[in-house]
């Protein structure tokens, strides 16, 4: 009999809403804390210290140096191949060095005492503007040990965003990596409330320009290294001032996919309710005190943050890595983070998995016909066997040995979230690596709202509601989504819901109802097994000229099946009968793709605008549409290519790797207008 992952509460639901559903084993009670009675984030670390004091918990690699290499790149110029020399620099890293629970408690207690002796008090705010690292998390726990609040700012955030976060949140202390100091130096005259600046640096040192920036910052602020603050704490010990559950832990800014990031007030108990909820169902799949997770996604994003906290609480070691050093190819004279750490669990946003998939398929597609056939059939077979609960791991040693070894060979399951994952990507990862589970989360819910279990072999869903929330679907009449058909906007309620937006009560009232339901803005549907499927986001539903709605994100996820594209932004409005798209193709790969498609060109810089190449890519995308049974009105009518790789650095993606639609359209205005002309649309 099929498992039912969530259950409807009796006597719930109404004319415009589905019954309320909860995780199948917690229909009586929503989980509101981690056990035993852990309602604040610092207590999660203390719990680890009490239960496994000498177990390693936080691991990092030191940067030992850099290695610069010349690379010969082939380019076709005026019909002739030319070789250009480019310089690339790579990090050389140490092995992982671990801090035990006891050491982490001592260090953060001293750091908190250090903050206190600088004059920082409970409820004051410490802004962390640094990449994901052990230092990031130690600073956060140091602040929590004295009931200070942490304000998060993505390390890729530009000057204006950083200034906005610092001034809006009335930050007292700014904590940075030395590399970020030049940015602080540039905006320091406009910073209003900061009194102290604390920085850390790599063992190897800091990049050019940072020392001068630090000197400049010192003219206005008291500047300390992290070690100096720690030493201050050692010399001036004070009692820890552990927060209450209802205290605010974080001012976390959303990723900004729908506009300006909003400052979300997240409570300690909210995060620990999520941790308690996860523990209820994930504990059987984990070897606590032994398993390791690789943490490399931005800690300023809720997804990475709550997973780290859960791991610290439950005894999963957290090893820090960076997107720049994950694989062996990206470092020198050492192994990449994945192979060095050999994690059992790893998390990623769909963009990460899409890149891994493209790498795998490139290798497979370059092999002989027989190997290709064997590989693709094995992917299908392993998924089928898994879905019937039949033995399938024997295939790992025959077909998937290489792909598994590339990720250290110990992965038990991988987690994807933050945006929809393509079914084919999930299928491939299930087979070539290990089970991939999909979660659905939101900053306003302290992280997790729903997630699949590791032995759930179904696709196109984000699992059951987390035991820390209850959920219902509510009519969205303008888009013709009705609860009576089992569809509607996802509303959630529970202890993990946020405490409001910073300085924006009006938006808080619009987002949370008086009786505590958070309106997620996402459109969902229940499966027969009680899992949630996300059909789209309210803001990304677009009405076509026919009056029908199309779901942009869902379409993008489908079109990513084309191996031509690195990323895609589907564009539609009420003048159109069919959508069009801006397609992002990596300019390092475009020449190879054009060669494969037999397209003639004189210079690679011409390919993105070559009509023949555009036609070839569009034809492939239309083929993908047919293969996936998209309707005519969901099929792309035209495309244009943007060959500058979209990234958070060039403002085309949010730091959580989601599309920044407005920015993408602004940067490609000419291309859009050209496409609209081709589609016979009036210019607005
Ligand atoms: N597995 C998933 N599938 C589809 N969408 C997802 C998934 N996980 C998260 N999301 C989307 O991410 C949203 C939450 O993201 P986050 O809190 O980072 O802010 P954002 O919505 O991206 O940014 P902003 O609120 O500034 O526009 C959810 O509301 C949902 O739309």
Q: Is the confidence at residue 84, as pLDDT, over 90?
A: no
Q: What is the bridge-based pairing of β-strands 487-493 and 173-177? A: unpaired
Over residues 11-31, the mean pLDDT reads 95
When pLDDT is cut at 50, 70 and 90, the band that residue 264 belongs to is very high
- Among 276, 267, 41, 231, smallest CA distance to 117 is for 231
CA angle 484, 490, 492 (to 5 degrees): 120
* Nearest-atom index, ligand 1, CA of 261: 26
Over residues 46-75, the mean pLDDT reads 91
Query: Which residue of 442, 462, 533, 551 sits with most ligand 1 atoms within 8 Å of its CB, as the best mutation to test the pocket?
Result: 442
CA distance 64 to 549: 54
- pTM of the predicted model as reported, rounded to 2 decimal places: 0.89
Over residues 46-64, the mean pLDDT reads 97
* Nearest-atom index, ligand 1, CA of 303: 18
CA of 420 to the centre of ligand 1 (A): 9
What mean pLDDT is reported for the chain?
92
Query: Which pLDDT does position 81 carry in this prediction?
Result: 66
Q: Is the confidence at residue 239, as pLDDT, over 70?
A: yes
HEC per residue, 71-110: EEEEEEECCEEEEEEEEEEEEEEEEEEEEEHHHHHHHHHH
User: Which residue's CA lies nearest to atom 3 of ligand 1?
Assistant: 420
- Among 2, 30, 31, 7, smallest CA distance to 19 is for 7
Contact present, 107 and 230 (Cβ < 8 Å): yes
Q: Is the confidence at residue 684, as pLDDT, over 60?
A: no
Q: Which tokens belong to 543?
A: 């009405």
Over residues 188-195, the mean pLDDT reads 96
* DSSP calls for 218-266: HTTSEEEEHHHHHHHHHHS-----PPPTTSEEEEEE---TTSS--EEEE
CA of 138 to the centre of ligand 1 (A): 27
φ/ψ of residue 626, rounded to 5: -65, -45
Over residues 568-583, the mean pLDDT reads 94
When pLDDT is cut at 50, 70 and 90, the band that residue 79 belongs to is low
φ/ψ of residue 542, rounded to 5: -125, 135
57-66, 69-78, 93-102, 314-323, range with the lowest pLDDT: 69-78
How many percent of the chain have pLDDT more than 90? 68
Query: Which pLDDT does position 75 carry in this prediction?
Result: 63
When pLDDT is cut at 50, 70 and 90, the band that residue 546 belongs to is confident
Over residues 221-234, the mean pLDDT reads 98
When pLDDT is cut at 50, 70 and 90, the band that residue 397 belongs to is confident
pLDDT tens sequence across 508-535: 999 999 999 999 999 999 999 999 999 8
Over residues 75-83, the mean pLDDT reads 65
Contact present, 650 and 568 (Cβ < 8 Å): no
CA distance 533 to 487: 10
CA distance 598 to 589: 14
CA of 556 to the centre of ligand 1 (A): 15
φ/ψ of residue 239, rounded to 5: -60, 145
pLDDT tens sequence across 450-496: 999 999 999 999 999 999 999 999 999 877 889 999 999 999 999 99
Q: What is the bridge-based pairing of β-strands 248-253 and 263-267? A: antiparallel
Q: Which tokens belong to 392?
A: 């399938």
Over residues 24-49, the mean pLDDT reads 96
Query: Which pLDDT does position 394 carry in this prediction?
Result: 81
Contact present, 466 and 417 (Cβ < 8 Å): no
Over residues 354-362, the mean pLDDT reads 83
Query: Which pLDDT does position 78 carry in this prediction?
Result: 61
Query: Which residue of 164, 418, 436 sits with most ligand 1 atoms within 8 Å of its CB, as the best mutation to test the pocket?
Result: 418
Q: Which residue has the higher pLDDT, 443 or 205?
A: 443
Residue 177 bridge partners (DSSP): 200
User: Which residue's CA lies nearest to atom 18 of ligand 1?
Assistant: 255
> DSSP state, 178?
G
When pLDDT is cut at 50, 70 and 90, the band that residue 53 belongs to is very high
HEC per residue, 357-408: HHHHHHHHHCCCHHHHHHHHHHHHHHHHHHHCCCCCCHHHHHCCHHHHHHCC
Query: Which pLDDT does position 286 carry in this prediction?
Result: 94
Query: Which pLDDT does position 271 carry in this prediction?
Result: 98
Q: Where does ligand 1 bind, in terms of residues with CB under 6 Å? A: 254-258, 261-262, 302, 417-420, 438, 440-443, 462, 520-522, 534, 537, 656, 658
CA distance 112 to 178: 20
When pLDDT is cut at 50, 70 and 90, the band that residue 259 belongs to is low
Q: Is the confidence at residue 396, as pLDDT, over 60?
A: yes
115: helix, strand or coil: helix
Going along the chain from its start, the domains and CATH numbers come out as 6-34+314-537 (2.30.38.10), 41-57+96-313 (3.40.50.980), 543-679 (3.30.300.30)
Q: Is the confidence at residue 414, as pLDDT, over 90?
A: yes
CA distance 684 to 677: 11
How many Cβ atoms sit within 10 Å of the Cβ of residue 645?
17
Query: Which residue of 256, 441, 502, 533 sits with most ligand 1 atoms within 8 Å of its CB, as the best mutation to test the pocket?
Result: 441
Q: Is the confidence at residue 367, as pLDDT, over 90?
A: no
CA of 85 to the centre of ligand 1 (A): 41
When pLDDT is cut at 50, 70 and 90, the band that residue 357 belongs to is confident
* Nearest-atom index, ligand 1, CA of 462: 1
Over residues 408-428, the mean pLDDT reads 92
- Among 334, 213, 250, smallest CA distance to 41 is for 250
- Among 31, 3, 17, smallest CA distance to 470 is for 31
Contact present, 177 and 141 (Cβ < 8 Å): no
CA of 521 to the centre of ligand 1 (A): 9
* Nearest-atom index, ligand 1, CA of 416: 1
Q: Which tokens belong to 619?
A: 């034809």
CA of 441 to the centre of ligand 1 (A): 7
Query: Which pLDDT does position 254 carry in this prediction?
Result: 81
Over residues 304-310, the mean pLDDT reads 97
């Amino acid at each position: 009999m099929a498992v039912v992952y969530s259950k409807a509460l009796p006597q719930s639901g109404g004319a415009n809403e589905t019954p309320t559903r909860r995780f199948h084993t917690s229909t009586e009670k929503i989980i509101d804390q981690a056990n035993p009675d852990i309602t604040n984030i610092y207590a999660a670390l203390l719990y680890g210290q009490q239960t496994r004091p000498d177990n390693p918990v936080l691991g990092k690699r030191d940067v030992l140096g850099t290695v610069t290499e010349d690379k010969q790149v082939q380019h076709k110029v005026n019909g002739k191949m030319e070789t250009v020399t480019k310089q690339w620099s790579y990090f050389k890293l140490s092995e992982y060095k671990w801090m035990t629970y006891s050491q982490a408690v001592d260090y953060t207690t001293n750091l908190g005492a250090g903050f206190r002796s600088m004059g920082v008090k409970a409820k004051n705010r410490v802004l962390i503007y640094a990449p994901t690292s052990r230092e990031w998390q130690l600073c956060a726990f140091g602040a929590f040990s004295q009931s200070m609040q942490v304000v998060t700012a993505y390390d890729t955030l530009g000057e204006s965003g950083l200034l906005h976060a610092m001034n809006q949140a009335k930050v007292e202390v700014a904590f940075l990596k030395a590399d970020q100091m030049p940015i602080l130096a540039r905006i320091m005259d406009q910073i209003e409330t900061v009194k102290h600046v604390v920085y850390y640096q790599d063992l190897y040192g800091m990049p050019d320009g940072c020392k001068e920036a630090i000197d400049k910052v010192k003219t206005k602020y008291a500047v300390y290294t992290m070690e100096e603050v720690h030493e201050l704490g050692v010399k001036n010990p004070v009692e820890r001032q552990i927060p209450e559950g209802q205290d605010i832990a974080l001012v976390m800014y959303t990723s900004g996919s729908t506009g300006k990031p909003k400052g979300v007030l997240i409570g300690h108990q909210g995060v620990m309710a999520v941790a308690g909820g996860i523990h209820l169902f994930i504990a059987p799949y984990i070897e606590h005190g032994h398993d390791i997770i690789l943490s490399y996604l931005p800690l300023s994003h809720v997804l990475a943050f709550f997973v780290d906290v859960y791991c610290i609480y439950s005894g999963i070691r957290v090893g820090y890595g960076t997107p720049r050093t994950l694989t062996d190819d990206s470092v020198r004279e050492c192994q990449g983070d994945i192979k060095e750490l050999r994690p059992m669990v790893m998390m990623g946003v769909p963009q990460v998995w899409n890149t891994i998939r493209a790498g795998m398929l490139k290798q497979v597609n370059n092999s002989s016909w027989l190997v290709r056939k064997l590989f693709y059939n094995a992917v299908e077979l392993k998924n089928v066997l898994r879905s019937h609960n039949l033995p399938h791991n024997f295939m790992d040693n025959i077909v998937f040995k290489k792909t598994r070894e590339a990720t250290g060979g110990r992965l038990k399951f991988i987690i994807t979230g933050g945006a929809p994952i393509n079914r084919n990507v999930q299928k491939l990862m299930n087979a070539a690596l290990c089970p991939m589970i999909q979660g659905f989360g939101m900053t306003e819910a302290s992280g997790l709202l729903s997630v699949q279990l590791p032995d759930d072999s179904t696709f196109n869903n984000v699992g059951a509601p987390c035991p820390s929330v209850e959920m219902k679907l509510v009519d969205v009449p303008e888009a013709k989504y009705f609860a009576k058909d089992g569809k509607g906007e996802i509303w959630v309620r529970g202890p993990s819901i946020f405490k409001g937006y910073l300085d924006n009560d009006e938006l808080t009232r619009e987002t949370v109802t008086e009786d505590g339901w958070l309106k997620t803005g996402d459109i969902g549907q229940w499966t027969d097994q009680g899992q949630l499927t996300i059909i789209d986001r309210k803001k990304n539903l677009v009405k076509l000229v026919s009056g029908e709605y199309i779901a942009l994100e869902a379409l993008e996820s489908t079109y990513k099946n084309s191996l031509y594209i690195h990323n895609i932004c589907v564009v539609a409005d009420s003048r159109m009968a069919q959508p069009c798209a801006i397609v992002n193709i990596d300019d390092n790969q475009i020449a190879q793709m054009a060669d494969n498609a037999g397209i003639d060109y004189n210079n690679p810089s011409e390919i993105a605008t070559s009509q023949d190449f555009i036609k070839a890519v569009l034809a492939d995308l239309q083929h993908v549409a047919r293969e996936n049974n998209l309707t005519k009105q969901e099929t792309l009518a035209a495309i244009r290519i943007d060959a500058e790789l979209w990234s958070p650095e060039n403002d085309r993606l949010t730091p959580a790797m989601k599309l920044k639609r407005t920015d993408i359209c602004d940067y490609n205005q000419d291309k859009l207008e050209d496409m609209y002309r081709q589609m016979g649309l009036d210019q607005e």
